[in-house]
């Protein structure tokens, strides 16, 4: 692809989604990776956070779009069609605040439609838990169940145990071996991180990006030069379309 002609300053665009229980540090990981900042008193995410960062892997420039799946949806759902609702959600058009319990049946169905579309647009999904709270690790199978139910079968996955710095304070509740056993059983890469002291934060995103890149390269390794170039262009275009349409369009 000729970047000068297309005004694109990267080789690949990957959409990554971070999910996990509230309070496990997803926003802190996002801010540490993209802005190298840390706020221990950060409030839980309301709505959705979105960041971008460009990295280099194997001499390829990769632009990452990083999303947090929200626990509380800020939307105006009454009287809106699904596509209009989804569009408002994706551009952070915040009108009113509802929890799941406050949604009527129609609102819950629209919420499910948003959730499915949200997962289908991701190339990689990172499940985060807190090593100091065993209940957040107990929820990990549920998060992977939701991924399997809503995301493309070929989506890349990563399990992350955050707040590893708390081990020095003897606050660990989830043994590393327990998480490693789960990851091995389910054939999912695993890493422990600390947004506070930066431990493995960059590595977690590099692991995920490399996994996606290798999967894409393996899929297209037997094509012609023209096929590979077309696939690269389609990867960028389809990623954008996946965030604004009902088509799954996963290239993995």
User: In the predicted model, is pLDDT for residue 244 greater than 50?
Assistant: no
Please tell me the distance from the alpha carbon of residue 128 to that of residue 143, in angstroms, as a whole number.
9
Q: Is residue 247 part of a domain?
A: no
Q: Is residue 222 part of a domain?
A: no
Question: Which of helix, strand or coil describes residue 88?
Answer: helix
Express each pLDDT in 4-25 by its tens digit.
445 678 999 999 999 999 889 9
pTM summary value: 0.73
Q: Is residue 33 part of a domain?
A: yes
Instruction: Phi first, then psi: give them for residue 213, nearest 5 degrees.
Output: -60, -45
Of 40-44, 113-117, 149-153, 195-199, the least confident: 40-44
Percent of the chain past pLDDT 70, that is, above it, reads 63
Largest CA-CA distance found in the chain, in angstroms, rounded: 56
Q: Is residue 62 part of a domain?
A: yes
Going by pLDDT thresholds of 50, 70 and 90, the confidence category of residue 106 is low
The enclosing domain of 154 has a CATH number of: 3.40.50.300
Q: Is residue 49 part of a domain?
A: yes
Here the tokens at position 34 are 């993209």
Tell me the residue range of the domain where 124 lies: 9-70+120-215
Please state the rounded mean pLDDT for residues 68-82.
46
From start to end of 79-170, where are the E strands? 97-98, 124-130, 156-162
Q: Is residue 239 part of a domain?
A: no
Q: How many domains does the chain have?
A: 1
| Predicted pLDDT at 73 | 40
Please tell me the distance from the alpha carbon of residue 252 to that of residue 244, in angstroms, as a whole number.
19
Of 60-74, 96-110, 159-173, the least confident: 96-110
Nearest to 66 by CA among 20, 21, 115, 123: 123
Percent of the chain past pLDDT 90, that is, above it, reads 49
Q: Is residue 171 part of a domain?
A: yes
Higher pLDDT, residue 147 or 168: 147
Q: Is residue 250 part of a domain?
A: no
Nearest to 201 by CA among 22, 49, 37, 21: 37
Count of other CB atoms within 10 angstroms of residue 173: 13
Going by pLDDT thresholds of 50, 70 and 90, the confidence category of residue 220 is confident
């Amino acid at each position: 692809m000729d970047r000068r002609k297309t005004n694109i300053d990267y080789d690949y665009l990957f959409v990554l989604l971070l999910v996990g229980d509230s309070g496990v540090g997803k926003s802190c990981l996002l801010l540490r990776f993209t802005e190298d900042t840390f706020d221990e008193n950060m409030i839980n995410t309301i709505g959705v956070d979105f960041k971008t960062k460009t990295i280099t892997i194997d001499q390829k420039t990769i632009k990452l779009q990083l999303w947090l799946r929200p626990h509380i949806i800020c939307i105006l759902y009454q009287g809106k069609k699904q596509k209009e609702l989804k569009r408002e959600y994706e551009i952070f058009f915040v009108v009113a605040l509802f929890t799941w319990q406050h949604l009527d049946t129609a609102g819950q169905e629209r919420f499910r439609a948003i959730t499915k579309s949200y997962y289908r647009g991701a190339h990689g999904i990172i499940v985060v838990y807190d090593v100091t709270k065993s209940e957040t690790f107990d929820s990990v199978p549920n998060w992977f169940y939701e991924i399997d139910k809503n995301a493309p079968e070929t989506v890349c996955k990563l399990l992350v145990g955050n707040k590893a710095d708390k081990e020095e304070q003897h606050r660990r509740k989830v043994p590393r071996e327990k998480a490693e056993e789960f990851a091995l059983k389910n054939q999912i890469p695993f890493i422990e991180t600390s947004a506070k002291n930066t431990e493995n934060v960059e590595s977690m995103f590099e692991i995920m990006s490399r996994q996606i890149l290798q999967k894409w390269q393996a899929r297209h390794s037997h094509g012609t030069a023209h096929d590979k170039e077309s696939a690269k262009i389609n990867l960028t275009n389809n990623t954008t379309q996946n965030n604004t349409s009902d088509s799954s369009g996963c290239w993995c």
